[in-house]
A and B are shown apart, each in its own frame.
Chain A
């Protein structure tokens, strides 16, 4: 467990060994025998789960929570809570209304789900050892899709000013989330935008990159470390991810880690991934130990963080 090791890797530096981050998420609830819905609404349980996960996995970093619905639910989106996953957003306030009509407000640390998360974060910070507490905020396109629904994906082509307005607003919400994580004491803050892999590089450049800048500034102005997490086959937008302005990025199991490593080294970025969660852990098709060895060999020791994909 080594905080500085992880920060160095996230910043693209050489490290003596590869640091390790299990993105425990609601798995931390499972570890302490709790259901996800109860866990995510109870600061004591979150703190207990995060501390337990860090210890159990001898981690160099653990997210405070991995739930991309915090911002949307805190703005009034309806949620469906489930026992074994983060809640799902089921209503989209901007589906048929403008931002002005919907009167959406940027949630602060006192609004919605944030007080529970802030309290949990403080409890973790008071007890944690030499590892990084990570803050993960919902990226602008993903948050825009919560707010607007699927229409946001056609808006980026046929209704660009509206798309820009909503995605920029989502970026401002993300910047406030970054401030909240900063104030909790998170040393690494990541913008998590899984659906950003589903758009063209040009669309990414036009909408996602600008909307991330305020959050990145908040993180960097505080001397903290930034990252951008993306999911799915992000091959085509990975150059854009490298240029978004964060210190590093993380990808999932669908990408070729050799390709990712070469690109990260080219742009001097930290990168994390890509243990095959589905194939190795959920289904047992791939031997997890062999998969880990392959990932470590491909990742190398420059900017690489060993982590699930």
Chain B
């Protein structure tokens, strides 16, 4: 066990290391967390993820751009690779919030944004099934059925490929209306997401996970209400 002072020191170094994309600092602090017996889940959520939240804010304020975000992501993974093997099975189970199928839609090979969102899901404890880029539209529906995932995250960078999202959403909702589908990418807006029939819109990687959790809750509530209404 570590005392509060030591814990706060390690968490701050993990967070700072991510924010200032100092991978070496994150690795040192992560190893120290393991050696000193700091709860690895605490280190991930309140150190690495907390840092990434600040990075998201800096991106929104346009102080950080794609290069800085990618550097921060490298630093975060540097720590995650050390800390994650030390999570206990029970913590892993508790940490798993759901399963996500993620990919860039057909015709589009731009995967920077998708990879950042994937990382955020990773950190938040989701099981991620990454289909990569240029994914045939029907593959999303197939993978959802195969993995029984409760979230589909679709990414596109081009206006033309973005239009394919509507087809994917229709395809999946037709088979399983309880799946939560979120969309994101340069040409997307909340308005477009609504028109496409998506359950959530990821404005950036930072809010993707929060949006995913929100939409799962919304769908669960709707499902519960429907069941209540169906009860004689």
Contacts and interface: CB of A to CB of B under 8 A. Distances in A.
B71 interface: yes
Interface stretch (A42-50, A81-89, A104-112): A81-89
B134 A203 contact: no
A203 B65 contact: yes
A31 interface: no
Contacts of A157: 21, 67-68, 71
B193 to A, nearest CB: 11
B227 interface: no
A152 to B, nearest CB: 9
Contacts of A84: 107, 160
A277 B159 contact: yes
A89 B110 CA distance: 10
A203 B79 CA distance: 27
Given A88-B107, A89-B109, A199-B65, A150 B161 contact: no
Nearest to A201: B65
Contacts of A80: 109, 134
A235 B66 contact: no
A283 B134 contact: no
A157 B192 CA distance: 34
A199 B160 CA distance: 24
Indicate the member of B66, B71, B107, B163 with the most A CB atoms within 10 Å: B66
A231 B67 CA distance: 17
A13 to B, nearest CB: 31
Interface in B214-229: none
A262 to B, nearest CB: 19
B28 interface: no
Interface string B5-31: 000000000000000010000000000
Indicate the member of A195, A233, A282, A283 with the most B CB atoms within 10 Å: A283
Interface string B155-186: 00011111100000000000000000000001
Contacts of A231: 186
A82 B186 CA distance: 21
Contact of B109 (A90, A199, A232, A278): A90
A209 interface: no
Contacts of A150: 70, 111-112
A282 B21 contact: no
A154 B62 contact: no
B103 to A, nearest CB: 15
Contacts of B159: 277-278, 282
B71 A82 contact: no
Bin the interface of chain B by size: 20 to 34
Contacts of B160: 84-85, 282
B37 interface: no
Contacts of A52: none
A200 interface: yes
A153 B107 contact: no
A206 B15 CA distance: 29
B4 interface: no
A38 interface: no
A84 B112 CA distance: 23
A218 B158 CA distance: 31
B74 interface: yes
B195 interface: yes
B35 interface: no
B75 to A, nearest CB: 11
A194 B56 CA distance: 22
B195 A285 contact: yes
Nearest to A282: B159
B3 interface: no
Indicate the member of B107, B108, B161, B187 with the most A CB atoms within 10 Å: B187
A145 to B, nearest CB: 9
Interface string A174-209: 000000000000000000000100111001000000
A1 interface: no
Interface in A142-161: 150, 153-154, 156-158
Nearest to B69: A153
Given A88-B109, A156-B67, A279-B189, 9 more contacts: A158-B71, A199-B65, A233-B62, A235-B62, A277-B159, A278-B187, A278-B192, A282-B160, A285-B191
13 contacts: A85-B107, A153-B66, A153-B70, A153-B112, A154-B67, A156-B67, A195-B66, A200-B65, A203-B65, A232-B186, A278-B162, A279-B191, A283-B195
Interface of B: 21, 62, 65-68, 70-71, 74, 107-109, 111-112, 134, 158-163, 186-187, 189, 191-192, 195
